[in-house]
Amino acid sequence: MNKPFILLVNDDGIYAPGIKHLWRALVDKADLSIVAPSTEQSGVGLCITYRTPLHVEKIPWEQNTPAWKVNGTPADCVRMALSVLLDRKPDLIVSGINRGANAGGVLLYSGTVAGVIEGTLRSIPGIAFSHANYENPQYADCEESICSIVSYILENPLPKGSFLNVNHPATSILKGFKLAKQGFGYYLEDPDKRLHPEGYPYYWMSSKWSDHSEDEESDVALLKEGYLTAVPIRITELTDQAHREQAQIEFNQLFESTALLNQTTLKGI
């Protein structure tokens, strides 16, 4: 029986320990290829490179797993993998393991999540994995759950246009597993003003966590309680349908009154 084919990507860079643990968790369960950034690309979101050339270099990996590094973003890596490097379409794209949580609003900035979104836009399902302990992540703690979740998703495919965002809590002792809602918390800018030797100011953009009132079923709240969380995120339909339907009549009336006003104005010229 053929093994599933999985593309691995991350945003911490191809030499980061997280992606090595991700590979270790899945190497016996699937055929793997790795395409990841040459250097850390945290916080770049869905950014792509189009003003400078992309360079791709194949690098050695354990058990002869095909692996390439790209001097670009996670989205670049997935694009290059699908259009240049791979000889077949992956059954799944798995990203991580990220250093630090990608819960709440943070996922909108995450390069780890962006690698999966890039595949989801092309109808390839994906899972993003992160560890909430930024200072001392115990990636090995994630390996068993990674294997279980990936196996489940391969057997029970996600709806088209959706991916799974998984966060491991900072603790090594899990309280349980929860299919959660996306929370609201995110990192707010905290610019550090500094003085250049020539006398003009510049800023180092640091950040601080911005708490929000969280639903008890949100990933942010559940992570704090020690749960492993997974949030199904849908990206192919971003339209706020409720508002669209509610405001459609008002917008039509606004347009009609504006058009009538313009006609009256033109007649007066």
Encode pLDDT of 45-59 as tens digits: 899 999 999 999 999
81 alpha carbon, distance to own chain's centre: 17
**What pLDDT is stored for residue 213 in this prediction?**
77
Encode pLDDT of 160-202 as tens digits: 999 999 999 998 889 999 999 998 876 667 788 898 999 889 8
First CA to last CA distance, the chain = 78
Give the residue from 159, 209, 207 showing the smallest Cα distance to 184: 209
Convert 57-95 to b/e letters by CB count within 10 Å (16 or more is b). Answer: eeeebeeeebbbbbbbbbbbbbbbbbeebbeeebbbbbb
Give the residue from 230, 225, 231, 132 showing the smallest Cα distance to 174: 225
**What pLDDT is stored for residue 258 in this prediction?**
65
The pTM of the full predicted model, rounded to 2 decimals, is 0.88
The chain-wide mean pLDDT, for the chain, equals: 90
Least confident of 60-69, 137-146, 164-173, 252-261: 252-261
**What pLDDT is stored for residue 4 in this prediction?**
96
Least confident of 6-15, 30-39, 88-97, 184-193: 184-193
**What pLDDT is stored for residue 265 in this prediction?**
54
pLDDT at 261 over 80: no
Q: How far apart are CA 178 and CA 171, in angstroms?
A: 15
What kind of fold does domain 5-238 have according to CATH?
Answer: Stationary-phase Survival Protein Sure Homolog; Chain: A, (3.40.1210)
Between 43 and 208, residue with greater pLDDT: 43
DSSP letter for 30, please: S
Region 199-224: what's the mean pLDDT? 83
- Taking each helix axis as running N to C, give the angle between helix 143-155 and helix 17-26, from 0 to 180 degrees, rounded to the nearest 10: 50
**What pLDDT is stored for residue 32 in this prediction?**
98
> Helix (H, G, I), strand (E, B), or coil: what is residue 240?
coil
Single-letter code of the amino acid located at 184? F
Domain boundaries, the chain: 5-238, 241-269
Region 98-118: what's the mean pLDDT? 93
Q: How far apart are CA 251 and CA 242, in angstroms?
A: 14
What value does the CA radius of gyration of the chain take, rounded to a whole number of Å? 22
Region 140-163: what's the mean pLDDT? 94
Encode pLDDT of 18-31 as tens digits: 999 999 999 999 99
